[in-house]
Amino acid sequence: MQLDWDAAINSIRESLPQTQFQNWFSPVEFIRSNATSVVLGVPSRFHEDWLRNHYAEQIRRAIQNQCGSSLQLEFEIQIREENEQAAQAAIPKASTAPVVPERPPLRLITAEEKAPEPEALPEAPQIPPFHHPLFELPFNRVAYQCMGMFAESREMVFNPLVILGGVGMGKTHLLSELATKLHRRSPELRIRYTNAESFTYEYVQHIRSKDLLDFKKTYAERTDVLLFDDIHGLEKKSSTQEVLLHIFNEIVARGGRIAFTSAVSPGRLENFLEPLKSRLTSGVTAEIKPLAFEEKVELLNRFAAHNHIAIDGPVVRSLADKGQKDIRELMGTLLRVHLQCKLENRPLTGEFLAEESIGHDAPREAITMSEIVSLVEHHLGVPRSELVSKSRKGTTNWARQVAMYLARMATLLSLEEIGKTFDRDHATVIHAFEKVKETMATQPTRKYEVEFLKRKLQSRTPRPLGDNTDFPFT
Cis peptide before 314 (omega within 30 of 0): no
d(CA 408, CA 413): 7
pLDDT in tens, 138-188: 888 888 888 888 887 655 567 889 999 888 888 888 888 888 888 888 888
Question: pLDDT value at position 366?
Answer: 67
Question: pLDDT value at position 128?
Answer: 62
Name the strands in the sheet holding 284-287, side by side, starting at the edge strand that comes first in the sequence: 191-195, 225-229, 257-262, 161-164, 284-287
CATH architecture, domain 138-287 = 3-Layer(aba) Sandwich (3.40)
Report helix angle 313-320 to 327-344, nearest 10: 130
pLDDT at 108 over 90: no
Helix extents (H) in 327-368: 327-344, 350-355
Domain 5-79 identical in fold to domain 366-472: no
pLDDT in tens, 273-311: 888 988 888 888 888 888 888 888 888 888 888 888 888
d(CA 171, CA 287): 10
Kindly report the backbone phi and psi dihedral angles of residue 353, in degrees, each rounded to the nearest multiple of 5, phi listed first.
-65, -40
d(CA 236, CA 423): 26
Question: pLDDT value at position 292?
Answer: 81
d(CA 21, CA 242): 13
d(CA 81, CA 43): 12
pLDDT at 346 over 90: no
What is the residue extent of each domain of the chain?
5-79, 138-287, 297-355, 366-472
Q: What is the mean pLDDT of residues 107-131?
A: 49
Coil, helix or strand for 358? coil
d(CA 300, CA 313): 10
Is the full-model pTM beyond 0.75? no
pLDDT at 349 over 60: yes
pLDDT in tens, 27-64: 888 888 888 888 888 877 777 877 887 788 888 888 88
Q: By C-alpha distance, which of 131, 177, 180, 168 is closest to 306?
A: 131
Kindly report the backbone phi and psi dihedral angles of residue 11, in degrees, each rounded to the nearest multiple of 5, phi listed first.
-65, -35
Question: pLDDT value at position 127?
Answer: 66
pLDDT at 458 over 90: no
Average pLDDT, the chain: 78
CATH architecture, domain 5-79 = 2-Layer Sandwich (3.30)
Name the pairing type of β-strands 161-164 and 284-287.
Answer: parallel
Q: What is the CA radius of gyration of the chain?
A: 29
d(CA 125, CA 51): 34
**CA 198, 203, 207, 210 torsion-angle sign:** positive
Q: What is the mean pLDDT of residues 385-399?
A: 87
pLDDT in tens, 260-271: 999 888 888 888
Homologous superfamily in CATH for domain 366-472: DnaA protein, C-terminal DNA-binding domain (1.10.1750.10)
Residue type at position 162 = V
Confidence category of residue 380, pLDDT binned at 50, 70, 90? confident
**Exposure of 406 by Cβ count < 10 A (0-12 exposed, 13-18 middle, 19+ buried)?**
buried
Question: pLDDT value at position 109?
Answer: 35
Q: What is the mean pLDDT of residues 315-328?
A: 76
By mean pLDDT, which of 20-29, 48-57, 98-107 is the weakest? 98-107
